[in-house]
Structure 1
Amino acid sequence: MNTPARILLADDHEIVRDGLAAHLRMLGDFEIVHAWSLATLLAAAAPPGCDLAVVDVHMPGMDGGQGLAALCSAYPALPLIILSGAATLPHAGEWQCWPSVRAIIHKSSPMSQLRAAVDLALARAPAAPPPLPGPWGDADALSALSPRLAQVAQAVAQGFSNQQIADALGLSEGTVKQYLKDIFRSLGVTNRTQLALLLHRRG
């Protein structure tokens, strides 16, 4: 009799973990292990460990990429799917290059995307390359942005809020919002995540 795969779900919101666990159990015979902080994540990943970890980057103790780096360093053979609800992930390009990382998925993504990532990770398939912009996004239009719009676009892609951008550039927050609308329209994107991915792929 085959032993069920053990999937570690790490998120500091219990309702999110329970929802993901319910969906995963519909996909296969999985044993689900829960964690809600970096400390509980590292403890749950310890031997006998798990076959896969699905990890939210914003939990107590994670400190962004430092918590992920600690997990990957301690358990380099543990496949990792990064899950986030943040509008932007400034370090996503760096994380995608880590051998442990199999996918980076936004919480608004369809369940089919998580299912595909889980299947590939449990099959020990190599990590997929960072996703190319789909039907949205015109990378060539980046060079046509004015210097000020380009500054705003880069700041947004780095994870700065509208207020932080306004303070840094000496603008009003309303002006930043209008600039952002102009940028979205010019580049053919609809949100900050798509903008960050577009800039990342353009380099």
Structure 2
Amino acid sequence: MKRVLLVDDQNIVLQGVAALLSVSPELEVVAALDSGEACIDWLDSGERADVILLDMHMPGIKGLDTLKQIRNIADIPVLFLTTFDDAYLRQQSAEHGARGLLHKNVGLEELVSSVLKVANGGSLLAEKGKDTLGAITPREDEIAKALVEGKTNKEIASAQNLSPGTVRNYISNLFSKLGVRNRSEAVVKLKKLGLF
């Protein structure tokens, strides 16, 4: 039987997913925690699971930051639960070592099979292949973070040791990859995805 740790700030999601997973005789929910901090504390206490279902967007420590901390404690595969699913989010998940991204409206059969696959060493991200969008570069990722922080092009250029024109080019590429038209839409989307 595979041990599953659930982490989501919404109680109804925790209860619902736990109830769905209990249908499978191959899965056991060993804990249902409401924050990234609680997850890290649970792992720090020596507890372990075969797979972690982790909410991407939570108050306090965000999903990606929780994943980074999990990596420092234990080698447990992580499957993100999210309300959103797009190329940028999928790429960020993969780059930080997640094994998959599941939409919260997933059906029972797909939920159970996905959790079992990841618990057994598989990955859901590999099945999706390359996203149609170009990969976000590390520099674009830094610029995305700066946009969310409200920095101007001039401030970004200074911090990244780039010319303002080069920063504008990076921002234009980032908008294209995010599917947005301007800085405001980019910030809204990045915040909605819970990445920064």
Tell me, yes or no, whether TM beats 0.5: yes
Q: Provide the rounded CA distance (Å) in 2 between the counterparts of 1:48 and 1:80.
A: 15
Aligned in 2, Cα 1:110/1:152: closer, same or farther, shift over 3 Å? farther
Q: Provide the rounded CA distance (Å) in 2 between the counterparts of 1:48 and 1:74.
A: 11
What amino acid maps onto 1:15 in structure 2? I
Q: How far does the alpha carbon of each residue in 1:12-62 deviate from its partner, in whole angstroms, 9 at most, with x for none?
A: 000100000000000125133011111101122332321211000111222
Q: Provide the rounded CA distance (Å) in 2 between the counterparts of 1:70 and 1:43.
A: 11
Query: Normalising to structure 1: TM-score of the pair?
Result: 0.59
Partner of 2:107: 110
Contact 1:83 1:105 in 2 (8 A): yes
Q: Tell me how far 1:79 sits from its aligned partner.
A: 1.1
Q: Provide the rounded CA distance (Å) in 2 between the counterparts of 1:122 and 1:51.
A: 5
Partner of 1:8: 5
Contact 1:6 1:33 in 2 (8 A): no
Q: Tell me how far 1:91 sits from its aligned partner.
A: 3.9
User: Sequence identity, in percent?
Assistant: 20
Contact 2:101 2:124 in 1 (8 A): no
Contact 1:90 1:159 in 2 (8 A): no
Q: Any stretches of 5+ residues in structure 2 without a counterpart?
A: 134-170, 190-196
Partner of 2:122: 125
Q: Tell me how far 1:159 sits from its aligned partner.
A: 7.7
Contact 1:62 1:68 in 2 (8 A): no
The alignment covers a number of residue pairs equal to: 149
Query: Normalising to structure 2: TM-score of the pair?
Result: 0.61
Q: Choose the corresponding residue for 1:94, options 92, 95, 98.
A: 92
Q: Tell me how far 1:127 sits from its aligned partner.
A: 6.0
Q: Any stretches of 5+ residues in structure 1 without a counterpart?
A: 140-150, 168-191, 193-203
Contact 2:30 2:49 in 1 (8 A): no
Partner of 1:84: 82
Q: How far does the alpha carbon of each residue in 1:136-180 deviate from its partner, in whole angstroms, 9 at most, with x for none?
A: x988xxxxxxxxxxx99953753869882399xxxxxxxxxxxxx
